[in-house]
């Protein structure tokens, strides 16, 4: 799948925010699939495509045998029940002048076709209890009466109302106090273990990724450079970018750590997005002449896939 955006003064020049990203997920066993990448690497774009909030310029998404961009009205409702999301900023998910329980009742109506409050209340109470709250505490209140952590729990409760098979999480703990993060992360684990949902969890944080992920996909400038079981990737990263990313925190010697070039976290280098070759070539210590001009293929190495010329035999 590919997604382009305009850039420059008028937005007429195009770059691929997501370039030929391709992967398959299986629903059994339920797993947490982490997508890690710096800010601007294309993570949110990927989730927005899966949610049908954006349309790809190339490729498509097939969910349980159906092309998600060719669904009819009933298909869209089905897809909404099956695939739900939790976003980064809980304050953006709710309108401050609306009572928060109305969001839950609306979702029950739209997703589960439950129109009566009496019928919806026990179901809403159940999902709120799942995330450590209950309807009594939430009923009739506005967002001002909750902390960021509680609001994020309510967003999660709303997202699991329809028992989605696939839950997307876009940096859901990055705006929470460090002290609250682990318990919210544990809630995602419980969703995997008890509701058996598959979770795509997006983050830029290595520690979070390691804590929560069963599998990991590493994004760099709009491409997936490495993907595989979490423990394999962390213990022996294959792609030079993954190596650099992990070395930057795992190198015990602080003097060496200081010498490792810090990864740019905020500004995007359009040039790297635009290169016809490997996006990492200008920073890669192993770069070969062809790396700058030819895009490396996705190479299978054991249970992993690596997008790098070093592994082509
Ligand atoms: N609607 C848009 N129009 C133009 N550029 C966009 C748009 N959305 C995202 N981008 C750009 O696409 C790149 C990837 O963005 P995004 O997917 O939000 O990255 P991430 O979530 O990894 O931080 C960034 O360079 C971003 O500025
Ligand atoms: S393809 Fe070449 S430049 Fe890219 S990561 Fe591999 S060795 Fe480095
Ligand atoms: Mg993002």
Neighbouring residues of 218: CB distance < 8 A, sequence distance ≥ 6 = 36, 37, 224, 225, 226, 227, 233, 239, 241, 242, 245
Residue 261 has pLDDT above 80, yes or no: no
233 φ/ψ angles, rounded to the nearest 5 degrees: -65, -40
Residue 154 has pLDDT above 60, yes or no: yes
Choice between 251 and 36, residue whose per-residue pLDDT is larger: 36
Beta bridge partners of 170: 202
Question: pLDDT above 90 covers what percent of the chain?
Answer: 73
Mean pLDDT value of segment 132-155: 95
Domains of the chain: 3-311 (3.40.50.300)
Ligand 2 contact, 34 CB (< 6 A): no
Residue 254 has pLDDT above 70, yes or no: no
At residue 79, the pLDDT reads: 96
pLDDT range class, residue 9, cuts 50, 70, 90: low
Mean pLDDT value of segment 222-235: 95
Mean pLDDT value of segment 245-267: 54
Q: Rounded distance, CA 184 to CA 175, Å?
A: 12
Max Cα distance, the chain (Å)? 68
pLDDT range class, residue 262, cuts 50, 70, 90: very low
Ligand 2 contact, 216 CB (< 6 A): no
Q: Mutual orientation of helices 73-82 and 100-112 as an angle, nearest 10°?
A: 120
Average pLDDT, the chain: 89
Ligand 2 contact, 244 CB (< 6 A): no
Choice between 298 and 28, residue whose per-residue pLDDT is larger: 298
What ligand has the least distance to the C-alpha of 309?
2
At residue 250, the pLDDT reads: 53
pLDDT range class, residue 219, cuts 50, 70, 90: very high
Ligand 2 contact, 286 CB (< 6 A): yes
What ligand has the least distance to the C-alpha of 287?
2
What ligand has the least distance to the C-alpha of 48?
1
Neighbouring residues of 18: CB distance < 8 A, sequence distance ≥ 6 = 1, 2, 3, 42, 45, 46, 49, 56, 222
Residue 260 has pLDDT above 80, yes or no: no
69: nearest Cα among 58, 60, 82, 78: 60
Of 18-22, 83-87, 151-155, 173-177, the least confident: 18-22
CA distances from 203 to 7, 46, 254 (A): 24, 12, 25
Neighbouring residues of 124: CB distance < 8 A, sequence distance ≥ 6 = 101, 104, 105, 108, 135, 157, 161
What tokens appear for 62 in the block?
A: 């097939």
Nearest-atom number in ligand 2 for the CA of 240 is: 5
Residue 249 has pLDDT above 80, yes or no: no
Of 95-109, 161-175, 264-278, 283-297, the least confident: 264-278
- The whole-model pTM stands at 0.91
Beta bridge partners of 4: 16
CA 6 / ligand 1 centre spacing (Å): 10
Residue 263 has pLDDT above 50, yes or no: no
Instruction: Read off the pLDDT of residues 48-73 as tens digits, 9 standing for 90 and up.
Output: 999 999 999 988 999 999 999 999 99
Element holding 92 (H helix, E strand): helix 90-93
Q: Rounded distance, CA 60 to CA 144, Å?
A: 40
276: nearest Cα among 57, 15, 96, 23: 15
Instruction: Read off the pLDDT of residues 90-110 as tens digits, 9 standing for 90 and up.
Output: 888 898 889 999 999 999 999
Ligand 2 contact, 240 CB (< 6 A): yes
Residue 253 has pLDDT above 60, yes or no: no
Mean pLDDT value of segment 135-157: 95
At residue 280, the pLDDT reads: 93
Instruction: Read off the pLDDT of residues 160-206 as tens digits, 9 standing for 90 and up.
Output: 999 999 999 999 999 998 888 999 999 999 999 999 999 999 999 99
Radius of gyration of the chain (CA): 21
Residue 135 has pLDDT above 90, yes or no: yes
């Amino acid at each position: 799948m590919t997604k382009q955006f305009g850039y420059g003064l008028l937005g007429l020049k195009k770059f691929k925010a997501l370039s030929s990203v391709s992967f398959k997920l299986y629903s059994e066993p339920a797993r947490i699939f982490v997508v890690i990448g710096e800010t601007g690497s294309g993570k949110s774009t990927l989730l927005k495509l899966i949610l049908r909030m954006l349309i790809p310029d190339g490729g498509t998404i097939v969910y349980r045998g159906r092309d998600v961009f060719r669904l009819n009205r009933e298909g869209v409702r089905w897809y909404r029940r099956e695939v739900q999301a939790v976003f980064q900023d809980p304050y953006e998910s709710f309108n401050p002048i609306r009572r928060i329980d109305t969001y839950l009742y609306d979702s029950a109506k739209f997703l589960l076709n439950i129109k009566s409050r009496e019928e919806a209340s026990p179901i809403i109470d159940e999902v709120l209890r799942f995330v450590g709250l209950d309807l009594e505490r939430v009923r009739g209140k506005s967002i001002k009466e909750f902390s960021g952590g509680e609001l994020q729990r309510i967003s999660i409760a709303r997202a699991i109302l329809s028992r989605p098979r696939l839950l997307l999480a876009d940096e859901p703990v990055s705006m929470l106090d460090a002290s609250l993060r682990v318990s919210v992360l544990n809630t995602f684990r419980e969703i995997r273990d008890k509701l058996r949902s598959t979770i795509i969890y997006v983050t830029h944080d290595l520690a979070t990724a390691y804590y929560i992920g069963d599998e990991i996909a590493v994004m760099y400038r709009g491409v997936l450079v490495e993907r595989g079981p979490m423990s394999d990737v962390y213990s022996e990263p294959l792609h030079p970018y993954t190596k650099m990313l992990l070395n930057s925190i795992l190198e015990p010697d602080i003097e060496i750590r200081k010498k490792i070039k810090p990864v740019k976290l905020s500004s995007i280098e359009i040039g790297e997005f635009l290169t016809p070759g490997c996006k990492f070539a200008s920073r890669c210590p192993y770069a070969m002449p062809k790396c700058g001009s030819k895009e490396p293929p996705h190479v299978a190495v054991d249970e992993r896939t690596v997008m790098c010329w070093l592994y082509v035999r």
